[in-house]
Amino acid sequence: MLAEAVDGLDVRPDGVYVDVTFGGGGHSRAIMERLGPEGHLVAFDQDEDAAKRVESGEWKAGGEARFTFIGENFRYLKSYLRLHGVRRIDGLLADLGVSSHQFDVAERGFSTRFEGELDLRMDRRGTTTARDIVNSADDAELARILRLYGELPNARQMAKAIVKARSEREIATTTDLREAVSRHLPRGMENKYLAMLFQALRIEVNGELEALREMLVQAAEVLQPGGRLAVISYHSLEDRLVKNFMRSGNFEGVVEKDFYGNPLTPMRQVLSTAATPAEVAANSRARSARLRVAEKLETKNQ
């Protein structure tokens, strides 16, 4: 969805754009290719591995003056833009979820394919890991996390299984967690249920949905009228927040109206699309991806 997302931004050569999920730099590179000498890109990523790629790669080596990297969570979007003298932007792109690099590094604990520390922190400066949660939360709290963030139909049974397993020995690795819940993985759907379990813990560890809410509100504030917001989400919880916000300006999806019955919305959605079969064939992680693009509307106080 790289091309569709960048196309959706309708990049102006002299515009100011933000990529709040730098990752491996693919989207940032595509945006930069469309910027002229007067354009500028600001990229955010809280993962220290992304910062290392910036420091050692083409971004620094090329002395790219049109590029600024901020190694922080995108929930601080507005503050860090102001710190760098940016008040208004022409477009923002967010590719949510876990990057391929994070999935492929065993010690990060993001993938069920590898034996690794049960970590799941996107920002390793954070103090709480998935290991802390599965070994300290009671069964009711674990069930809430698994049901709310993983949408697991057997969340209560899994939570009880985790509590039972940890009473015998600490759940320290991804393998320990898989073994703890193995009896509750439906035959033929083991990988799907494990992915839902790890998703739930990852969202809890990183506060992902709250960070997304904060970023979307700030994005609407800093976008110029006519500016574009492009978001790629990978599960229904994220997509619901994005869809509702683009539709109504709030996360309930309720469109408010003025005295005359005119809708009071900060944006209008201009694109909604899913990954193509070809994209899914090339990258199975894209199978649940949904791209939404919205344009900031002009308001009377702007």
For residue 57, the model assigns a pLDDT of 63
pTM for the complete prediction? 0.90
For residue 122, the model assigns a pLDDT of 87
Q: Which two tokens stand for residue 202?
A: 């990852």
* 92 closest CA partner among 47, 42, 38, 53: 42
Between CA 115 and CA 300 the distance in angstroms is: 56
For residue 189, the model assigns a pLDDT of 94
Contact residues for 154 (Cβ-Cβ < 8 A; gap 6+): 184
Residues 123/175, Cβ–Cβ less than 8 Å = no
Report residues of the chain scoring pLDDT below 50: 61-62, 101, 103-104, 106-109
Contact residues for 267 (Cβ-Cβ < 8 A; gap 6+): 220, 229, 245, 246, 249, 294, 295, 296, 297
For residue 109, the model assigns a pLDDT of 46
Between CA 58 and CA 41 the distance in angstroms is: 15
Residues 205/186, Cβ–Cβ less than 8 Å = no
